[in-house]
Structure 1
Amino acid sequence: MRVLVVTSQFPIRDEPTRGRPIVQTVQPLARLATVRVVSPIAVYPRWAQPGSYVAHAPGAPDGLDGDVEYPCYPTLPGVARPLNGWLCARAIGDALARFRPDVVLSYWLYPDAYGAMLAARRAGVPLVAGARGSDIRVRDAISRRLTGYVVRAAGRLLVVSQDLGRLAVQRYGADPARVRVISNGCDAATFHLADRAAARRALGVAEDARLVLYVGRLVPEKGLRELFAAVGQLAARRPGLQLALVGAGPMRDELDALAAGRGNVRMAGPLAPEAVAQWMAAADVVTLPSYSEGHPNVLVEALACGRPVVASDVGGIPEVVDAASGVLIRPRDVADLAHGLELALARRWDEAALCTRFSRDWTCVAEETLAQCAEVLAEARRKAGAGKARLTEPA
C-alpha cells in the first residue's frame, strides 16, 4: 500500500523534536507500507508574523530518516484563515500527483487535513484524518466550521483518546462508526526505569534536590506561567526544590527572563529522546499543567520511567493518570498546582509498578493505523466497483 502522510507537525531544522509522536508512528509505518511525508509550512510576511509564530527554515533536521518534503505556502494571520486549507491543498498537490498514493493519511485537522481532503478528492483517493488534541478543540468559528468538514468527510477519524472521540461526535457531528481510538505508544528501549543518582550526576543535579520536570513545547497553553508561579510558592517551603524545562517554543525568551531571577530553574532546551529519558530518570515528578490535551505522550513516557506525574484534569489526561500514578489538578489554578506538586513530592511512589503501566509500542500503533487505511481503501474500492456496475447495467 502507498500512503501519503500530510502533516505540518513534523520535525524541521529549527524544531528537531517537533511532532515526535507522529514521527514515531510514521517510522514503523514505513516498514509496513510505502510511505512518503509531505509537511506543508505556512509562511507569513515579516511584517505580519503572529506573536506566537516562530520563523522556520524549511527542511529536515539532521538524522531524520525517511522521504520528507516541505512545501511552503504564503498566508496572512487571521484574514487568510479561511483560505489556508485551500492554500495547503495547492502546496501538497504536486507531491500527491508524483507519488500516486492509495490512501492519504493526514494529521492536524485544519488546515493540513482540510487541504489533504481537497487534494485527495481531486485525485480520487480516500482520506484518513488524525486528530491530536488542540486541532479539534479550536476556538474560532471559522476553523471550527472547516474542521467539521474534515471530521465528517474522512473515511476514518483517528483520535488518541476516548475524550477526543466523544468531542468529534458531539461537537462536529462525526459518524461514530468512522471514529477509531489509537492511543500513543512508548519506546521502552529509551523510556524505562533507570538509576536516579546516576542521572543526576550526569546532569549536574544535586543528589538531595527535589526536581520537578516539564517536557513539551514552550507555549502559554501548557500552563507554564502557572508552573513558574506554583514553584515559586513551593520554593519558600522547600528550599531544595528545582524546576527543569525541556523543550522549545515562542515562550523561550519570556521563560529565560523568569528563570534568570531564580537559582532553582534549568532551561535545558529541545533534546533528543535519550536525553529526555535521562532528565526523567533524574526527576522526582514530571508535570504537565496544560489547559487542554489529547493523549499526552510525555506522561506515558514519564510513567514508563517510573516517575509520578502532576497534570491537569483535562482531555485525555485522566485516561493516562489516576490516583496510583499521579495527581490531577485544576487547569489555570496556581494554588492547586502547587498543592498537587507538594502532594506528589511528599508521597513514596512504587516506581516498579509505575513503569509497567504502559507496554504498547509504536509498531502496534503503526499496525493499527495501517489497518484503518486498508479498511478505508477497501471501502472506496467497493464503492467504485458498485458505481461501475450500476453504469454497465442494462436499461
Structure 2
Amino acid sequence: MNRARLRIALVTPMLPVPHDLTRGRYIHETARCLAKIADVRVYFQTLRYPRLPGIVPKSYLYGDVPPDYKLDGVDVEAFSYGSLPVLGRPLNGWLASRALTPRMATFAPDVVVGYWVYPDGFAALLAAHRLGKPCVVGALGSDIHVRSGSNAWLTRRTIERADALVVVSEAMARGAQAQFGADPARVHTIVNGFNRSVFRLQDQQQARAALGLPMQGRLIVYVGRFVEAKGLIELLDAFEKMAAEDGDVRLALIGDGVMAPQLPGLVRDRGLAERVLLPGSMEPVQVARWISAADLLTLPSWSEGYPNVVVEALACGTPVVATDVGGTREILREDRGLLVSPRDAQALRVALTEALRRPWDRAAIAASMARSWDDVAAETLQVCESVVARRSARRQG
C-alpha cells in the first residue's frame, strides 16, 4: 500500500523576485524538489513598510510582491503584512502569524516548515500550534549568527518550542546549541545541494565567448547580494591593489542589493571603471556561465550559513577564495580553494593573488561535487515525517 503524501505548508520570506533574482534561490530549489515527493504549498510572506522617506531599513531591498506572484514548480501564495522598522520587530512574528494562520488553515497541512527563525519561523510556529500541527524551523545563516536584543530572545523562544530545527551546516548546529540552547536531539543538519543540470563543468573559453568577454586575462567573479556584510568594500580595496600590479585581471560583481546604486561610484573613485564589470542580477543559467568563465569566485562575507554560491562555483569547476565563516570551511578543502579571515582586505588580496597563480584541476573540483536538491528535499521530508510520527505517538500514548 502506498503511503499518503505528506501535506507540507512551507513558510518563507525569501524567494526570487523581479527586483532581486538571487534572493532565496536555495529555498525555491528545496520547495520545487520537495513538491515531487509531498504535497507542498509555499506561503511567501513579506514585510510591508509605510511608504515614507527614510523609513525602510538600509539593509532591505524593498519591492512589492504581487498577489499573483508565481514561481516555477511551486504552488505559492504570496501576501504581505504591515509593520514598522525596529519598533515593530518584537511584534513581527505575531503580526505575520495573524495573516498566515487563516491562509494555512484552508490548506490543512500535516506539518509546517518555517524558514528564517525569526520572525518567519516564529510566525509558522504560532500558526502550526493554532492548527494543532507540528512545526519544523529552518535556520539559514544570519538568523542564527547575527542576533541581538529582542531578536535574540525571540530566536531562542522559537528554537525552544519548535519540534525540530534544521540547519545548513555543522557550524550552525553547534552555534544553535551554544547560543540558543537548542536540544541536540532535535537539531538536524541538511546541507545545501545544487542544480546539477545548470551548475556543471563548462569550457571556460566557450563561456567567455558566449558572454563577449576577452579570451585572455584573469577574471574574478563575486555573486551575491550587494550589502556591506558580504565584504564588498574589502573586495574593492583588495582588487584596487591587485589591479595596480596586474594589468590583465578583472572583477565582475553579479547581483543586486541596497549597495547597487553606490557601487559604480565606489568603482570610479578607485579608478577601476575599466576593470570592474557590473552585469547586474541574473537567472541561474547566466550565473553559471559567468562562474564558468571566471578563474576564481570570491565570497568575502562577514557571516554565512552554508554559502550556496560556493557549492555552485565548485560544481562548475571554479576554485574559490572565501572567508572562514559559518559552514564555508565544511565545503572548501585545500584542493578547491583558499580561506581567509573576514574583514581583512590585505589577507583577501594575498589569497586572491595566490589562487590566480595556482594550477587548479577544474575537472577534479567539479567531479568532487554531487549533492542535488533532490537529496536536500528527501532529507527534509524525513525530518517532517519524524515530527509527524512523534506527535501522533504522543497523542496515542
Q: Equivalent residues in 2 for 1:45-64 (5 A)?
A: 45-47=50-52, 48-59=55-66, 64=72
**Aligned partner of residue 84 in structure 2, secondary structure:** coil
CA shift for structure 1 position 63: 5.4
Whole-Å Cα distance in 1 between the matches of residues 125 and 97 of structure 2? 8
Query: Is 1:75 aligned to residue 83 of structure 2?
Result: yes
Q: Equivalent residues in 2 for 1:1-395 (5 A)?
A: 1-47=6-52, 48-59=55-66, 64-260=72-268, 261=271, 262-386=273-397
Whole-Å Cα distance in 2 between the matches of residues 218 and 163 of structure 1? 24
**Conserved? CA contact 2:69–2:77, under 8 Å:** no
**Conserved? CA contact 2:70–2:76, under 8 Å:** no
Aligned Cα RMSD in Å?
A: 1.2
User: Residue 33 of structure 1 aligns to which amino acid in structure 2?
Assistant: A
CA shift for structure 1 position 322: 1.9
Whole-Å Cα distance in 1 between the matches of residues 76 and 21 of structure 2? 14
Q: What is the total number of aligned residue pairs between the two structures?
A: 386
User: Residue 238 of structure 1 aligns to which amino acid in structure 2?
Assistant: D
Structure 2's unaligned 5+ residue stretches are 1-5
Structure 1 residues 121-164: Cα deviation after superposition (integer angstroms, max 9, x where no partner): 11101000111111111332110110011111111111110000
CA shift for structure 1 position 256: 2.2
Whole-Å Cα distance in 1 between the matches of residues 186 and 162 of structure 2? 8
Which shows bigger deviation, 277-286 or 258-267? 258-267
**TM-score between both structures, scaled by the size of structure 2:** 0.95
Whole-Å Cα distance in 2 between the matches of residues 310 and 281 of structure 1? 15
User: Residue 6 of structure 1 aligns to which amino acid in structure 2?
Assistant: V
User: Residue 199 of structure 1 aligns to which amino acid in structure 2?
Assistant: A
CA shift for structure 1 position 359: 0.4
**Conserved? CA contact 2:164–2:186, under 8 Å:** yes
**Conserved? CA contact 1:25–1:366, under 8 Å:** yes
CA shift for structure 1 position 259: 3.0
**Aligned partner of residue 36 in structure 2, secondary structure:** helix
CA shift for structure 1 position 38: 0.4
**Conserved? CA contact 2:22–2:225, under 8 Å:** no
CA shift for structure 1 position 178: 0.5
**TM-score between both structures, scaled by the size of structure 1:** 0.95
CA shift for structure 1 position 75: 0.8
Whole-Å Cα distance in 1 between the matches of residues 187 and 64 of structure 2? 35
Q: Percent identity?
A: 45
**Aligned partner of residue 148 in structure 1, secondary structure:** helix
Structure 1 residues 43-94: Cα deviation after superposition (integer angstroms, max 9, x where no partner): 1112221222222111366653321112211111111110011011112112
CA shift for structure 1 position 246: 1.2
Cα separation, partners in 2 of 1:281 and 1:204, compared to 1, 3 Å: same
User: Residue 305 of structure 2 aligns to which amino acid in structure 1?
Assistant: G
Whole-Å Cα distance in 1 between the matches of residues 69 and 102 of structure 2? 23
User: Residue 52 of structure 1 aligns to which amino acid in structure 2?
Assistant: S
Whole-Å Cα distance in 2 between the matches of residues 242 and 124 of structure 1? 55
Structure 1's unaligned 5+ residue stretches are 387-395
CA shift for structure 1 position 375: 0.3
CA shift for structure 1 position 11: 2.1
Whole-Å Cα distance in 1 between the matches of residues 142 and 119 of structure 2? 13
